Amino acid sequence: LDLLEKILKLGYNVEELFTKKTHSLISGKSCDESLPYIERGLQLLPNSSVIIDDKLDCAQRYLNDGENVKAVAIADSILDKRENAKLIKAHALCNIADTEQNLDKRIEQLEQAQSTLSSYSGPEKEVIATRINDAFVLAAKLYYGEGETDKSYTVLAGLAKKGVEKAADAIANLRL
């Protein structure tokens, strides 16, 4: 790889060979082991679709393994290059929000997830959007249970304005 990098830096057309070598070096390795090679490859070939796809794969594997902070960081670095990175980031942010005990921070994570998902156009969007909305409703109910009625109604009113039926139902139930 070092030799190919030197040849590439001299201006010779060995991009395909460098990409194949990088891809073969990471094959079968963990993401923690693969990322240095991926980053090195992207420094030299920032638009290499194979290397970008390898990085997206790492983000997905981190998400699958429950390493949500890593998944967010990796997906965030390629948001402008791969549409599915938005879905991975939003999903990981939801996972982080689910475990957050501080409700204000939970709401922030959910807002980030919602913002990221807003520019995603894939078919899985509705599944994650529903999950985000359900998490907002749950957080609002928890706010209410802690006596934070203003925060609870603010969250629910925002969702109701967007047409989230569960939010309107929750408002009605909490007022009874």
Neighbours of 29 (CB within 10 A): 11
What pLDDT is recorded for position 30? 95
What pLDDT is recorded for position 1? 61
The string of pLDDT tens digits covering residues 36-70 is: 999 998 988 899 999 999 999 999 999 999 999 99
Q: Dihedral (C-alpha) 50, 126, 90, 48: value to the nearest 10 degrees?
A: 10
Share of the chain above pLDDT 70, in %: 92
What pLDDT is recorded for position 176? 43
The string of pLDDT tens digits covering residues 123-152 is: 899 999 999 999 999 999 999 999 998 999
What pLDDT is recorded for position 169? 77
Alpha helices, DSSP H, located in 68-124: 68-77, 84-99, 103-118
Q: Which residue has the tokens 């429950």?
A: 66
Rg (CA), the chain: 21
What pLDDT is recorded for position 87? 96
- For residue 109, is pLDDT > 70? yes
Q: What is the enclosing helix (H) or strand (E) of 171? A: helix 165-175
| Average confidence (pLDDT) over 75-96 | 96
Q: How far apart are CA 176 and CA 158, in angstroms?
A: 20
What pLDDT is recorded for position 27? 87
